[in-house]
Structure formats: C-alpha cells, structure tokens
Amino acid sequence: MAGVPFDQREGVIWYDGEFVPWSDARVHVLTHGLHYGSSVFEGQRAYGGVIFKLQEHTDRLIASGRELGFEIPYSADDINKACYELLERQGLKDAYFRPVAWRGSEMMGISAQSNTIHLAIAAWEWPSYFTMEERLKGLRLGMAEYRRPDPATAPYKAKAAGLYMICTISKHAAEAAGYADALMLDYRGQVAEATGANVFFVKDGEIHTPKPDCFLDGITRRTVIDLAKQRGINVIERAIMPEELADFEQCFLTGTAAEVTPVREIADYNFEVGEIVKQLVEDYDAVVQPNAAAQAAE
C-alpha cells in the first residue's frame, strides 16, 4: 500500500461505533476540528497481533479530550475492543493505529458547546517512521525555527492536533535542508524534543533527557527510561541547554512511530551510534516483539 493516498486505501475504519468502508470514513468541510483544532489523537503499534501498551494510549486519548474540554462518548473498554476487532478485520498482525476524536459541525465558531464528539480508529501496515538505513546510520537533525510553547499558553499534556502545526512546518523545513527531522527548543530556549519524538543524550555512561514540563511525556519515552534503569543506567531528567550538545557522546529519539532511533548529527554537533543506544534499541525490540508473540499465543 506504499504510495497509496490515505483516503483511497482498502479495508474498514471504525467510525462512531460502526465499521465503515475505508473510503466512506469522511467528515464535513465545516467540521469544528478542522477549523479550530479541536481534535485529539493517538498513535500506537501492534506487534504480532498485540497492541503495545494499548490501555495507556487509550487512557491518554480520553485524558487529551478532557484537556480540550470534551468527553469522548466511548469507554476505554469500548475503544480497546474496537482496536482489536479492527486489527482482525484488517487482517493485520503488525500495524500502526490512529484513533482520533474531534468536535463535529453543529456549531461553527469559537464556541462549540453543542457539537457532537466523534471518534474514529484506523489501522494500517506501516514500517518504522524512519528508513532502516537512517536508523542504522543514525539520523541527521537540523534545528527548528519554532519552539514548544509555554505551558500557560497551550494544553501541552494533550496529544492535540493543533499543537503539531509547528512540528509539520519544522519537519518540512528540515527535510528541505537535507535533514531527517529537527530538534525543537522550548519557550525558554532549552532543548525540548524532535518534531514527533522525545530526545535523549548519553554522556559518561549516563542518560540525560529534558523534563517534559511543556511537551508530551511519551509512552515510549517512559518505557525506554524503565529499560535503561533495569540495565543500571542512571537517567537524569533535567533542563538541557543547546550549547551542551557539544559535550554529549550519543543521542537517540523515542516514539511509537520512531521506536528507538539513533541520531548521529544535530546541526553542527556530531554523535556516535554507541553501545548504550544500540542496547536500548535491542531492549525495546525485545519488549515489544516477544511480548506480542507470547500473548498472541495464549
């Protein structure tokens, strides 16, 4: 299905409690979520027929809706059941999921108190966010122009569609300059994250990562921190200034789509694809793959 537009793919999408043909999963042009960004979403993966940390993703989806002031009209159990039934109907074992909830089109304006809350879930086969060649060599990142906003100005704990506008702009600019992605600073000028993944650095056998106090604390991020601690590696969550990049030896990104991906360059700073990064790549793969195989066999 590579290269096929996402509105022309085959199969079904779970839409407001029903499975509808893929091409029929549509919204009106005056949908509030399109005009005012009142939409939240998730990204999660299935490995070997098991959706990794589905409950955590579903809980975050529901919490994200509440951050934007709306209640998704389905329980976590309803959503989880729909995801697994969708996986079966699509005939997939390894897949990427995109649940998305949004305000509908009953009212068109800043206020949308009476708008219906919709929920859809799509699943498709999707390899790593970055190519295997990029992952093995390590990514090249540029520096983003835009910064993650002050938490007093945006609901940063929500995985909200509107918060990704500057990410798309920044990633496009990075790709135009020959990079795979971009590193974003926050409103204080501190290192924050990449456009769709959390960032980690290694120095003297310890891992350093920015505190998620103005950007999303990723589920994969937390998983990898736990894996590092199980290895006896000290993980330090702190403010990191961009000039510190010169002192770090290794760097990597984490995310549901990115999984664990080494970074070899950020602008003028270079890193090695070292042993700690390689070990965490293996450890993460070991968590998702055998775990999936064992549960699928039950």
Residues designated catalytic: 159
Per-residue DSSP letter, 151: T
| CB 160, CB 182: distance < 8 Å | no
Strands 269-270 and 181-185: unpaired
Torsion, CA 258, CA 259, CA 264, CA 268, rounded to 10: 50
The angle at the Cα of 181, spanning 177 to 182, to the nearest 5 degrees, equals 85
| CB 252, CB 274: distance < 8 Å | no
Give the helix/strand (H/E) hosting 119: strand 117-124
Torsion, CA 54, CA 56, CA 58, CA 60, rounded to 10: -150
Residue type, 214: C
**How far is 149 from 160, CA to CA, in rounded Å?**
13
Give the helix/strand (H/E) hosting 99: strand 95-103
